[in-house]
Amino acid sequence: MWLLKLAWKNMWRNRHRTIIAMASIFFAVLLTVVTSSLQKGVFDNMVRNVVSFYSGYLQVQHREYWDERILDNTFQQSDTLEDIIRGNRNVTAVAPRLESFALASSEELTKGCMVVGIRPEQEDQITRLSAKVIAGKYLGDGDRGVLMGEGLAERLRVNVNDTLVLLGQGYQGATAAGKYAIQGVLKFGSPDLNNQFLFLSLQEAQRLYSAEQRLTSYVLGLNDPDRLGEAESSLQASVGTDLTMITWEEMMPEMVQHIETDQGSMLIIQGILYVLVGLGILGTLLMMMIERKYEMGMLVAIGMKKFKLMQLMIVESVATVLTGCGLGLLASFPVVYWLTEHPIRFTGEVGDVYEEFGFEPIFPATLDPGIFINQGLVVLGVGLLLSLYPIVRIAQLDPVEAMKK
- Give the whole-angstrom CA distance, residue 308 versus residue 3: 9
- What separation in angstroms does the CA of 349 have from each of 352, 353, 355, 361, 364? 5, 6, 10, 10, 19
Nearby residues of 264 by Cβ (< 8 Å), 6 or more positions away: none
> Is pLDDT at 215 greater than 90 in this prediction?
yes
Please, are residues 159 and 185 in contact by the beta-carbon 8 Å criterion? yes
Average pLDDT over residues 301-310: 77
Mean pLDDT of 186-215: 88
Of the two residues 65 and 393, the one the predictor is more confident about is 65
How many whole angstroms separate alpha carbon 398 and alpha carbon 405?
14
Confidence of residue 200 (pLDDT cuts 50, 70, 90): very high
Cα separations (Å) of 211 from 140, 179, 216?
20, 17, 10
CB 193 within 8 A of CB 70: no
Q: Are 49 and 356 in contact (CB under 8 A)?
A: no
Three-state secondary structure call for residue 164: strand
State the pLDDT at residue 167. 92
Q: Determine the pLDDT at residue 325.
A: 85
For the stretch 129-186, pLDDT in tens is 888 898 999 998 778 899 999 889 999 999 998 999 999 998 888 888 899 999 999 9
pLDDT for 298: 78
Side chain identity, residue 170: G
Task: Please give the model's pTM, rounded to 2 decimal places.
Answer: 0.73
Picking from 323, 322, 307, the residue whose alpha carbon sits closest to that of residue 391 is 307
Nearest alpha-carbon partner for 3 in 316, 298, 252 = 316
Q: What is the C-alpha to C-alpha distance for residues 397 and 302, in angstroms, rounded to an integer?
A: 14
Do residues 33 and 378 lie in contact, with contact meaning Cβ atoms separated by under 8 Å? no
Asked whether the beta carbons of 147 and 204 are under 8 A apart, the reply is no
Mean pLDDT, all residues of the chain:
83
Q: What are phi and psi of 212, to 5 degrees?
A: -60, 135
- Total Cβ atoms within 10 A of residue 97: 22
Residue 110 has pLDDT above 70, yes or no: yes
pLDDT value at position 98?
94
Tally DSSP H helices, then E strands, for the chain: 16, 14
pLDDT at residue 316 tops 90: no
Rounded to whole angstroms, the Cα distance separating 104 from 112 reads 6
Are 218 and 174 contacting, i.e. CB atoms less than 8 angstroms apart?
no
Tell me phi and psi for residue 75, to 5 degrees: -135, 165
Mean pLDDT of 378-399: 78
Say how many residues make up the chain.
405
Angle between helices 306-341 and 293-301 (to 10 degrees): 140
CA gap 59, 85 in Å, rounded: 11
With pLDDT > 70 as the criterion, what percentage of the chain qualifies? 94
Residue 2 has pLDDT above 70, yes or no: no
Instruction: Give the three-state DSSP class for 397.
Output: coil
For residue 13, the tally of other CB atoms under 10 A from its CB is 11
What backbone phi and psi angles, to 5 degrees, belong to 234? -70, -40
The CA-based angle 50-118-122, given to 5 degrees, is: 70
Question: What is the pLDDT at residue 355?
Answer: 57
**What would the pLDDT profile of 347-359 be if each residue is shown by its tens digit?**
766 556 665 555 5
Backbone torsions φ then ψ of 368, nearest 5 degrees? -55, 120
Confidence at residue 356, expressed as pLDDT on a 0 to 100 scale: 58
- What is the spatial distance between Cα 202 and Cα 96, in angstroms, rounded to a whole number? 8
CB 300 within 8 A of CB 397: yes
Distance CA 232, CA 344 (A): 33
Q: Rounded distance, CA 360 to CA 53, Å? A: 12
pLDDT in tens, 224-280: 888 888 888 988 888 888 899 998 888 888 877 877 887 777 788 878 877 877 777
Question: For residue 205, which phi and psi values (nearest 5 degrees)?
Answer: -65, -40
For residues 83 and 53, give the distance between their C-alpha atoms in angstroms, rounded to a whole number: 25
DSSP assignment string, 280-346: HHHHHHHHHHHHTHHHHHHHHHTT--HHHHHHHHHHHHHHHHHHHHHHHHHHHHHHHHHHHHS-EE-
